[in-house]
Amino acid sequence: MHSPNALENHIKATALQEGALLVGFTKIRRVDPVILLGFPFTDQWFLKEPLQTALMLGKEYSVSKHVQDVIAKKLRAEGYTAYYKTVLSLYGDFRPLAVSAGLGQWGRNGLVVNKDYGSGLLFAALFTNAPLEPSIENQQQGCQEHCTSCGQCIEACPGKAFTNNRFHTYNCLSYTMKGCAECLRACSKKTSIH
């Protein structure tokens, strides 16, 4: 068996090699280890082109499932349990876990903002009983400062969902249903996600 630190390093290296953009570790209820994986998400995946959206999301689902299969196989070979929820999981919101694992910070647009990828991420989670320790990435500290002082998402929002220092879901929803992704697009300007 690998030592916990060696296992964490192996999981991280394998996930990145197999197609994940980000890898982090956290715990649910401060007890149960979770591996969080970040995969690309772009503003091109909205209702404007349903067939293209389905193809792109299907490709990312396939990559994420492959990464999770490889990691789960390794964990099981080491004698640990491993089950996962993919980027298409309908159950659970992985954003709080992604923040807890250091993959980004809460953005003003309600999404997780990463300093390298903006809001352009999908998250998947792998649950295990392996002795993995939470990892907070120091590189994300500058992200919170950027997001609270930047304002690009606020300026770009056609629904004026950001008023009186609050995010108004209903103002956003009517535009989102039409395929709006202006806050995501504005936040992702600095990134080059495929």
Distance CA 146, CA 170 (A): 25
Mean of pLDDT over the chain: 81
DSSP state of 114: B
Other Cβ atoms within 10 Å of 183 Cβ, number = 30
The percentage of the chain sitting over the pLDDT mark of 90, rounded to a whole number, equals 36
Amino acid type, 178: K
At 42, is the pLDDT very low, low, confident or very high (cuts 50, 70, 90)?
Answer: low
Q: Are 93 and 166 in contact (CB under 8 A)?
A: no
Q: Is 73 helix (H, G, I), strand (E, B) or coil?
A: helix
Q: Among residues 107, 106, 109, which one has the least CA distance to residue 97?
A: 106
| Residue 65 vs residue 151, higher pLDDT | 65
The percentage of the chain sitting over the pLDDT mark of 70, rounded to a whole number, equals 79
The contacts of residue 45 (CB under 8 Å, 6+ apart) are 52, 53, 56, 57
Q: Residues 57-114: pLDDT tens digits?
A: 788 889 999 999 999 999 999 999 999 999 888 777 898 999 999 999 888 777 888 8
Is pLDDT above 90 for 48? no
N- to C-terminal Cα separation, the chain: 37
pLDDT at 188: 60
Amino acid type, 122: L
Distance CA 153, CA 166 (A): 13
Give buried/exposed letters for 148-163 (b at 16+ CB in 10 A, else e). Answer: eeeebbbebbebebbe
Angle (CA) 33 37 118, round 5°: 130
Mean pLDDT in residue range 118-143: 77
